[in-house]
Structure 1
Amino acid sequence: MAEPISDHNPKATDSEASIHLEDVSPSPPILLSEDGHPSNHSLQDPRNWPQWKKNAQILMVAFHSCVSTFMAAGIIPAYDLFAEEYGVTVPDASYLTSFQILLLGLSPLLWNPVTAVYGRYHVSMFSVLGSMVCNIGGARCTTYGAQMATRVLTAFLISPPIGNGSGVVTDLCEPEKRAQKLGWWTLMTTIGTPLGPFLMGFVTKHLGIQWIFWIFAILNFCQFLLYLAIGDETIYNPKNERKQSGFFGKLIPRKITSHSLSPRDFVAPFSLAMTPRVLIAACAHAITFCYGNIAMIVEMPIAFGQKFHFDAQQIGLQFIAIIIGCVLGEQVSGPMCDWFLKRVRQSRGYSCPADRLWLSYIAFSTIFAGLLVWGFQLQHATTWNVTPCVGAAIASFGNQMQTTILTTFAVESKKERSAEVGVFVNVCRQIYGFIGPFYLPYMFTALGFGGAAGVMVAIVGGCAMVPIIAVQFVATKSAKQ
């Protein structure tokens, strides 16, 4: 007998239920046939697609998110060459990345409302085509100003999946599988940052800086072909089904809802600043991400290039440590969170979102240890050795843990607006990360790597960990009442 699917599944984990509460809506329940698949629904409904097609859409949006951060950070090994070619300083060349960081944070505020009205599929197609054109322009640039313009436009155009990736996973996954699929998306988004300079270091040395942008353009073209071949619209509105059928029918852009865009749609996520738990978690995440990830990545050419006279390829190899730390941190954070909350429920009969914050202190501790090892070992090194990279891996491990834990806490604290929470957290992270490259080079020069690492640890401890301790105390106390 057919039975309704509900996201109020008592067997689902707290994280799954909280992150995807937006699924609980007044719409009719999906009916299950005897084979366990949805029945009596249009084939255009993404929930009725075969599993391979669902996974393909999730992997494409995860790869799209990876490409957005990959391209922003991929130019890092070429800072010295950009400075020489354009007649600017190395810190000035680093602004080519920092402005992209800013746009990757702000652009989803504009793309998300547009996507809700016109659909993810056509926005994604336009995103990769526009980015491809800008990257071709980047390969032909001869001045610093022109290159800055292409980087800003590229970041704006490639950014939609950073805001709507979680929505794709929500629409295509059953509650009991969503945590795993969200892990694909979040890890790919984070790992694009160190992966870009790692791979582009080889390109810079052996092919030249123009080929960085040609490869970016080729990646965008491959994305376009994938969307053309197996992509489809993942937002379903039964009142506005596509009348055209077939391959060419889905390519025709049109509104998927009767809702019209309004100025309020573009600023709605900022109202979450009035929710202290979301605001504190978002700011704490932004601070730790800046010093536990962006500071090491953006400053790598200065830290290793100038100190050890590394070329672009050798600089790129240093990012392996950050990649390893991110991957290991993601593998630990999710399963450990679920296991910890399960033990809490078994011991006292209930759990609350603030219980997750106990694990954030492991993340903070590893960030502190990693930054100090990275800074002091780098400062005292006279020749290259692996210890600064070990510190970078430890800090990246902790950074990936806190990314998952603090973001999940923020979402659970405002379940009914979980999609907007994701955008708000991303805005805070990218804006604070954008500011970093403007003062970090001067801080490293004035204080040395060891002193700068100590300052960053103090900022993370005082401005991120202490507020998290306070919000955990208040939230836990209110949960008991």
Structure 2
Amino acid sequence: MDLPAAENHADMMDSKASATYGEKVSDNAPINPKLDPHGFPLRPQPTSDPLDPLNWPYWLKLAVLLQVSFLAFLGPFCQAVINSAFVPLAKDLHISVVVASYNTTIAILFAGVSPILWSPIANVYGRRPIFLAVSALGIAAQCAAGAAPTWGGILAARAFVGMGTSAGMGIGAAVVADMFFMHERGRYMGIYIVFVTNGAHIAAVVGGYTALNHSLGWRWCYWIPAMILAGTWVLMLFCLPETLYHRDNKTGESHMHHQQQRQTHRAWLSLLTFRGVPIKRKLQLWDFTHVFLMLKYPSVLLSTLYYAVSFGLGSVLFAVTGAKAFGSIYHFNTAQIGLCIGLSTFIGTLIGELLAGPVSDRILYLSTKRSGGAFRPEARLQAIWPGALLLPAGVIIEGVCLQYRTHWSGPVLGIGIGAFGLQIISTNIFAYVTDCYKPQSAEISTLLNLGRQTFSFTLGFYMIPFAAATTWGVAWSVMAVIQAVLFGGVVLLMWRGKEWRERLGAPEFDRDL
């Protein structure tokens, strides 16, 4: 394998880095940069501090990744376990199945909006305090939903469920960017995305069997997630270290006043004390606008629009309409509905990830090698093509099969194909945008979550009425065409993304992260 020598690339990489994208070769400009396995300078360059998350041993990185990914999984899981039980819930509370779906959509909406608050706080005070505090709210809200005697009380509690289960979904991708280098980010971001995407899918299976069990009933669709979230909270309390790490771009120093102490303790032992983040500045009202300031960058705006609609159609559409579709057409019970939705999407996303993160990282490496060492994040977008074709195809297949009442395996196959395509799209979008603006990864993660949740929130209100007014095939095909058209924005980024980034420059805030 051809390994370019570091001395032939270091100067070129440093001179091109800030012009290419916001993630520099090195904030501290080392004379001899550390290299990735291919011989290119690592992006970003780690400091000499053993507590820099980039320097952590891989067992610790993976342990943190799995904790944060599972917390992100619990967001859609807690919101969607009730989905398979809409019919018995509606019967007991004397409401329609469509109205019962508001149970999930209100949680989705608040889960999308609330990370706008968590992101700036996490950038100042750390990720760990937000994960713990917000999850505690989620546990209390889930219990309140399970105990609420009225429909209005359940809806109010579910709004707080959305807020309390949003931290992992809203800023989890920032933790991945905190710990992993650019050349490996696709693979590990893909692991995180698998958890995020499958939360609602596994929820369908769990909710279906829970609601079918007469000794439990639909209220246990609230209690079971509350118990799982509480167990996760205890695990994080004792096992989740802080990943936020400030780097001083001007002086090349990174917490030098802590270096003597850090050199006398092993890094893992220091981490287990759950050190706080040195407060570099005060939280300001202006910080809460940073999420929206990122929308001026085409790489963020176009990616967010495409991802939001893709996630809604490739995951949430199946979840919020499954009870009605498979219940009325195939007369399935709640357990069967859960299996149809949950297993097909779960298998589709797992297979899709085989063609997502690893392929994305490989394409990025080959592009870098061809260009003589110049990293271009837009290379990752080439890996989206299979997903861009398969996701709308899967949506159309499900809609047409439901319209013509084919064998139940037809719509199930369409769901699986759609989930396969969504996983490819999601992993590459997250990896691409964080490559472009790594220091602002918390804002980017929040914005992608906001787009995903806001669009998904609307589907429960109009998709079933849309299908009733037209047909399942027409309604699903219209949405698939809209999603396919938005891929044009990604194609524009492949063509002009690098030029736009260089013209606009990097954001001024959070540059030391």
* Inter-partner Cα distance in structure 1 for 2:181 and 2:499: 33
What residue is the counterpart of 1:208 in the other structure? Answer: 217
| Aligned 8 A contact 1:197 1:316 in 2 | yes
> How far is the alpha carbon of 1:480 from its aligned partner?
13
Any gaps of 5 or more consecutive residues in structure 1?
12-17, 33-37
Q: Does 1:226 align with 2:235?
A: yes
Equivalent of residue 172 in structure 1, options 154, 162, 179:
179
| Aligned 8 A contact 1:322 1:393 in 2 | yes
> How far is the alpha carbon of 1:336 from its aligned partner?
2.2
* Inter-partner Cα distance in structure 2 for 1:53 and 1:169: 12
TM, length-normalised to structure 2: 0.79
Equivalent of residue 403 in structure 2, options 379, 399, 410:
379
| Aligned 8 A contact 1:201 1:312 in 2 | yes
Distance 1:47 1:406, change over 3 A: closer
* Inter-partner Cα distance in structure 2 for 1:116 and 1:280: 24
Any gaps of 5 or more consecutive residues in structure 2?
1-5, 14-19, 35-45, 247-254, 504-513
Equivalent of residue 473 in structure 2, options 450, 464, 475:
450
* Inter-partner Cα distance in structure 2 for 1:440 and 1:182: 31
What residue is the counterpart of 2:106 in the other structure? Answer: 99
TM, length-normalised to structure 1: 0.84
* Inter-partner Cα distance in structure 2 for 1:128 and 1:348: 45
Paired letter, 2:327: G
> How far is the alpha carbon of 1:316 from its aligned partner?
0.4
Superposed counterparts of 1:77-476, under 5 Å: 77-173=84-180, 177-206=184-213, 207-236=216-245, 238=255, 256-318=278-340, 319-344=342-367, 352-381=376-405, 384-414=407-437, 417-462=440-485, 464-475=486-497
Paired letter, 1:228: L
| Aligned 8 A contact 1:19 1:415 in 2 | no
Paired letter, 2:361: D
| Aligned 8 A contact 1:366 1:394 in 2 | yes
| Aligned 8 A contact 1:278 1:421 in 2 | yes
* Inter-partner Cα distance in structure 2 for 1:20 and 1:316: 43
> How far is the alpha carbon of 1:148 from its aligned partner?
0.9
* Inter-partner Cα distance in structure 2 for 1:259 and 1:477: 33
What residue is the counterpart of 2:252 in the other structure? Answer: none
* Inter-partner Cα distance in structure 1 for 2:109 and 2:32: 40
Paired letter, 1:74: V
Three-state SS of the structure 2 residue aligned to 1:419 is helix
> How far is the alpha carbon of 1:369 from its aligned partner?
1.9
| Aligned 8 A contact 1:22 1:417 in 2 | no
| Aligned 8 A contact 1:282 1:425 in 2 | yes
Distance 1:331 1:20, change over 3 A: farther
Paired letter, 1:299: T
Deviations 1:217-258 (A, max 9, x none): 2112211221233233333564797x9x999x9589x77414
Deviations 1:95-116 (A, max 9, x none): 1111221122211110112223
Runs of 4+ in 1 over 6 A off after TM superposition: 8-11, 27-32, 476-481
Deviations 1:1-30 (A, max 9, x none): xxx9xxx8999xxxxxx9993794349899
Paired letter, 2:293: S
What residue is the counterpart of 2:511 in the other structure? Answer: none
> How far is the alpha carbon of 1:66 from its aligned partner?
0.5
Deviations 1:23-50 (A, max 9, x none): 9434989999xxxxx99757x6656655
* Inter-partner Cα distance in structure 2 for 1:217 and 1:86: 22
Distance 1:395 1:41, change over 3 A: closer
What residue is the counterpart of 1:35 in the other structure? Answer: none
Three-state SS of the structure 1 residue aligned to 2:356 is helix
What residue is the counterpart of 2:23 in the other structure? Answer: 21
Once structures 1 and 2 are overlaid, which stretch shifts more, 50-59 or 104-113?
A: 50-59
